[in-house]
């Protein structure tokens, strides 16, 4: 069996998970739990798709998708940061809203199909056998997912701004006392999360399928949230997790090709079951979660008097 096409499909299945998880990592590191990833992805997906259909430009489509993610993330930010609303409830609201909004806008786009984004071949690199195909023959969003997780990992662990962001996430009261603007940092982090979720959604509707279907994210936003926990809030482990889940998603497509006869529904269950198993596996070590989780996550920040 030829493994190269399998590896390539794993990369395509992993990319949306990686993009969304990268955004959520930054949001959570700043101490905000945004459960609305699924909703932001859906809005990004339909916005990018609509833009692609009406303009025909992949670049515009990607930008529209990403900034639609930012726009809906802004609603979340205003509600949780300015209006001090409960983050869990608001995140759920964002997902319900995103499902509804995308389905409404998308009702005009069902059944239209798109040319997928072109592959960007990077000069001679993409002519290297196997490695060239594997690493250097993708569309722009795949490269972006590689770059963003590296940048975010570097930003969080090696830069001063990253340190401030982490300080805000660990103890908003201390960060506030030191003179950092907790709200500014959190607003930016939430909007960045929206941007990345929007990109993840764009990838689904522009490249992965490429068409629009209601609820097409099929829980990927929630899996991305689980990946952040699985990766214990570390960029490298999150990337590993994203590819692991990409592989599990792809497995279901190949199992039947290998002559194993299982009802398709059971194969489709795999990523969801794997998410549960992985969460149990990681979370059972309470100490590990306690050490790695941002200490202020999910808590409302009201400046001390």
Partner 1 sequence: MSQSFRFFPKFVLEPRLEVSGQWMILSPIIAIILTLFSGIIIFSLLGKDPFLALYTFFVQPLTTMFGITELLVKGTPLVLIGVGLAIGFKANVWNIGAEGQFTMGAVFGGGTALLCQHMESILVLPLVLVLGTLGGILWGAIPAFLKTRFNANEILTSLMLSYVAVLWLSYLVHGPWRDPAGFNFPESQLFSDYAMLPILIENSRLNLGALFAILVVLAAWILMARTIIGFQLRVVGLAPRAAHYAGFKQSGLIWLSFLISGGLAGLAGIAEVSGTIGQLLPSVSPGYGFTAIIVAFLGRLHPVGVLFAGLIMALSYIGGENAQIEIGLPAAVTGLFQGILLFFLLACDVLVRYRFSHRSVLTGGRCE
Interface residues toward partner 1, by CB under 8 A? 35, 39, 75, 79, 82-86, 88-90, 92-94, 96-101, 103-104, 106-107, 214, 218-219, 222-223, 225-226, 229, 263, 265-266, 268-269, 272-273, 275-276, 279-280, 283-284, 286, 289, 300, 302-305
Q: What is the nearest approach in angstroms of partner 1 to the Cβ of residue 284? A: 4
Nearer to partner 1, 60 or 99 (CB): 99
Q: What is the nearest approach in angstroms of partner 1 to the Cβ of residue 8? A: 26
The answer to whether 230 and 284 have CB atoms below 8 angstroms apart is: no
Q: 160: which DSSP letter? A: H
Nearer to partner 1, 55 or 108 (CB): 108
Nearer to partner 1, 154 or 302 (CB): 302
Nearer to partner 1, 140 or 244 (CB): 244
- Bridge partner residues of 211 (DSSP): 113
How long, in residues, is the chain?
A: 305
Nearer to partner 1, 119 or 232 (CB): 232
Give the side-chain half-sphere CA count within 13 A for 191.
11
246: which residues sit within 8 A by CB, 6+ positions away? 10, 11, 12, 13, 14, 15, 17
Q: Reduce the DSSP state of residue 113 to 3 states and report it.
A: strand
Q: What is the nearest approach in angstroms of partner 1 to the Cβ of residue 281? A: 8
| Burial (0-12, 13-18, 19+ Cβ within 10 Å), 298 | middle
| Burial (0-12, 13-18, 19+ Cβ within 10 Å), 162 | middle
Tokens standing for residue 16? 């949306």
Q: What sign for the dihedral angle of Cα 89, 91, 92, 94? A: positive
Q: What is the nearest approach in angstroms of partner 1 to the Cβ of residue 301? A: 9
Nearer to partner 1, 158 or 305 (CB): 305
Place of tokens 């009406």: 54
Q: Distance between CA atoms of 222 and 92, rounded to whole angstroms?
A: 11
Q: What is the nearest approach in angstroms of partner 1 to the Cβ of residue 226? A: 5
Q: What is the nearest approach in angstroms of partner 1 to the Cβ of residue 93? A: 4
Q: What is the nearest approach in angstroms of partner 1 to the Cβ of residue 63? A: 23
Nearer to partner 1, 142 or 168 (CB): 168
The answer to whether 194 and 73 have CB atoms below 8 angstroms apart is: yes
Q: What is the nearest approach in angstroms of partner 1 to the Cβ of residue 140? A: 30
Nearer to partner 1, 209 or 252 (CB): 252
């Amino acid at each position: 069996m030829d493994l190269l096409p399998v590896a390539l499909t794993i990369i395509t299945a992993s990319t949306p998970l990686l993009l969304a998880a990268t955004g959520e990592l930054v949001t959570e590191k700043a101490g905000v739990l945004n459960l609305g990833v699924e909703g932001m992805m859906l809005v990004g997906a339909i916005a990018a798709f609509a833009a692609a259909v009406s303009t025909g430009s992949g670049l515009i489509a990607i930008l529209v998708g990403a900034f639609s993610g930012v726009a809906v993330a802004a609603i979340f930010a205003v509600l949780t940061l300015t209006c001090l609303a409960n983050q869990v409830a608001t995140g759920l609201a964002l997902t319900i809203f995103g499902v509804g909004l995308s389905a409404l806008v998308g009702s005009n786009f069902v059944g239209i199909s798109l040319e997928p984004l072109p592959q960007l071949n990077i000069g001679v690199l993409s002519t290297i056998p196997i490695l060239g195909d594997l690493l250097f023959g993708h569309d722009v969003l795949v490269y972006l997912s590689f770059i963003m997780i590296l940048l975010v990992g570097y930003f969080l662990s090696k830069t001063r701004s990253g340190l401030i962001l982490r300080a805000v996430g660990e103890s908003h009261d201390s960060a506030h006392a030191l003179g950092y603007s907790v709200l500014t940092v959190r607003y930016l982090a939430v909007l960045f999360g929206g941007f990345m979720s929007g990109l993840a959604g764009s990838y689904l509707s522009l490249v992965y399928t490429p068409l629009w279907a209601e609820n097409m994210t099929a829980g990927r936003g929630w899996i991305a949230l689980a990946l952040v926990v699985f990766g214990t809030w570390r960029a490298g482990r999150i990337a590993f997790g994203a590819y692991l889940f990409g592989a599990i998603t792809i497995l279901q497509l190949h199992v039947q090709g290998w002559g194993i006869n299982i009802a398709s529904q059971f194969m489709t269950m795999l990523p969801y079951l794997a998410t549960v198993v992985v969460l149990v596996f990681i979370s059972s070590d309470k100490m590990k979660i306690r050490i790695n989780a941002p200490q202020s996550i999910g808590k409302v920040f009201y400046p001390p008097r």
